[in-house]
Amino acid sequence: MICYNGAAVRFESGGEFESFPLECGIVDEMYDFIVSRQAECFVTFEIDDQLYCDRPLSREQLQLWGLPEHAPMPGVVPRHALQKRLVSKMLLRNERNIFSELQAVFGNRVHAIVTDRDALIQIMNKTTSKEAAVQRVLERTGGTMERVMAFGDDWNDYGLFAACGYPIALENSLEELKGLAWRVTASNNKDGVAEVLEQVNAVKRDSSVAG
């Protein structure tokens, strides 16, 4: 299982877990940079498979992240505690295009992308990406990227789409992803992923019967 845009990989066989967190020093630097530019900006952190924030959030603020109303409220992690935690990913809203400033200062030290129609900034370890994580899994299993089927709809899927053999874009995807796609399927709201998987399974069943 691949999490946090490739910052963590859990292998089913043996239960091994690989993590590629942000360096503690860079987390501190980026956090201080962000609040110095936008003191009102709240920053969230993925830590140990849990969501934390630098301050308490209201339900209304939580919905800005696209999380459902019943989602658990993030824990609060104070600034001084960040040095003791392994942060898989930092997230913040792209208010007043702060992404451009972050890229100019930290772009050569982290992997930062902006998703959700330029609204959400996601910051990971420099070596982290979905395609790199998939490649690590393939090295364990003996598979090849040419046989990988991937589904996606946003910029964090672009590298994997360019690398894999069967990139499937959802109908609500960015046009740039559709341009790379082997096929475009229905959106998540219309079960586009399930539609393709059912068709793949049907082909496998037919091949098995024919064989």
| CATH assignment at residue 184 | 3.40.50.1000
Q: What is residue 35's predicted lDDT score, i.e. its pLDDT?
A: 93
Determine the average pLDDT of the residues in 6-30: 82
Q: Which tokens go with 58?
A: 């209201």
- How much is the pTM? 0.85
148 and 110 assigned to the same domain = no
Measured CA to CA, the distance from residue 100 to residue 141 in angstroms comes to 39
Q: How high is the pLDDT of residue 2? A: 80
CATH number at residue 7: 3.30.1240.10
Q: Is residue 28 domain-shared with residue 70, that is, in the same domain?
A: yes
Is 108 within a domain? yes
Q: Verify that 169 and 92 share a domain, yes or no.
A: no
Contact predicate 72/53, CB 8 Å? no
Q: Are residues 119 and 152 in the same domain?
A: no
User: Cβ neighbours of residue 31 under 8 Å, at least 6 residues apart?
Assistant: 43, 54, 79, 82, 90
With b meaning 16 or more CB within 10 Å and e meaning fewer, what string describes 106-132? beeebbbbbbbeeebbbbbbbebbbbb
Whether residues 18 and 116 share a domain: the answer is yes
In a domain, 130, yes or no: no
**48: domain range?**
2-125
Collapsing DSSP states into helix, strand and coil, what is residue 206? helix
Q: What is the pLDDT of residues 57-113, one digit of tens each?
A: 888 887 776 677 777 889 999 888 888 889 999 999 998 899 999 999 999 999 999
pLDDT in tens, 156-202: 999 999 999 999 999 999 999 999 999 999 998 899 999 999 998 88
pLDDT at 131 over 70: yes
The total domain count for the chain is: 2
From 125, 159, 181, give the residue that closes a domain: 125
Same domain, 105 and 149: no
Please give the pLDDT value at position 32: 94
Between 18 and 56, the higher pLDDT residue: 56
Name every residue whose Cβ is closer than 8 Å to that of residue 3 and which is 6 or more positions away in sequence: 9, 10, 49, 88
Alpha helices, DSSP H, located in the chain: 24-37, 59-63, 98-106, 130-141, 158-163, 175-180, 192-210
Same domain, 70 and 12: yes
The verdict on 119 and 151 lying in the same domain is no
